[in-house]
Amino acid sequence: MLIAHLSDTHLMTPDTADDNQPAAQARVENLSAAVARVNALSPAVDAVIFTGDMAQHRAPEEYALAREILSALTAPLYVIPGNRDCRATLRRNFAADGYMSGEGDAPILYAIDDYPVRLIGFDSQSGFERKGDVDAAKMQWLDATLAQAPNTPSAVLMHHPPIPVYTSDYPWQWQREEAGNELASLFAAHPQVTRIFSGHSHRAYQDKLGDILVSTVPSIAVDLRLGDFEPQAETHPIFQVHRFDSDNGFTSETIIADNAAINNAA
């Protein structure tokens, strides 16, 4: 199974960008380039995951724009909200794909059982600016959902990485210190969870939460990307492809969406 992992597009429209029009235009181009590169991957990916911060200002027109660009993906798309996102608007634009639970502003939680790896969408929004959190209801949902398929390899999508990102100036991005241990304890009872895919840190990073590898991807928005990258990547968005097979588990590859080869071939 091949999964393309995109995150943190922070899209703006001409109306929402105010005096930041060049960034708005660049971020649209970044997402469009990433979508084109994902579609051109060979072999083709089976699914695309998007780990949050789709829009910069929670504006409906920003989600409509995101939906329009992401609709070009040829593989099924699974999205979760980031701290920047409006759950209700995200739902309105993506619920027709049929996998999201709940309505309105309720947390977006789901399980996808269509692949060799079970994909668990887990909403880490806290209601506080920037930071993530879990509460009893979300933890109960996660525990019960994982208990439904204890023998199926599973990956959890959550915007906030439940680990300290030590290359960041603000390594711990959760409202409470205990959230990491609470999640680690829950996952320890569900050893079929082999990977957590996150965004939020806008950089590539990985570390373990208990026995589970947590990885973050660079922001698709190049102007917001953090960390050092090769000079040839400076103006191109970066995403990752995660490959799963039952013998080796997950391996991951970083893709620079320099689409010159695609454009020349077209």
CB of 211 to Fe ion, least distance (A): 27
In this structure, are residues 139 and 186 in contact, taking their beta carbons and an 8 Å threshold?
Answer: yes
In this structure, are residues 163 and 177 in contact, taking their beta carbons and an 8 Å threshold?
Answer: no
Q: Which of residues 70-129 bind Fe ion (CB under 5 A)?
A: none
Helix extents (H) in the chain: 21-40, 60-70, 87-94, 136-147, 179-188, 260-265
Q: Is 62 in the site for Fe ion (CB under 5 A)?
A: no
Report the alpha-carbon distance of residue 49 to residue 196 in Å, rounded.
12
Would strands 110-112 and 47-50 be described as parallel, antiparallel, or unpaired?
unpaired
Which residue, judged by CB position, is nearest to Fe ion in the bound state? 53
Q: Is 53 in the site for Fe ion (CB under 5 A)?
A: yes
Q: Which is nearer to Fe ion, 141 or 172 (CB)?
A: 172
Beta partners for residue 238, in sequence order: 256
Q: Which is nearer to Fe ion, 31 or 117 (CB)?
A: 31
CB of 206 to Fe ion, least distance (A): 18
Report the alpha-carbon distance of residue 45 to residue 4 in Å, rounded.
6
Q: Which of residues 1-30 bind Fe ion (CB under 5 A)?
A: 8
CB of 198 to Fe ion, least distance (A): 11
Q: Which is nearer to Fe ion, 160 or 190 (CB)?
A: 160
CB of 95 to Fe ion, least distance (A): 22
State the residues that interact with Fe ion by CB under 5 A: 8, 53
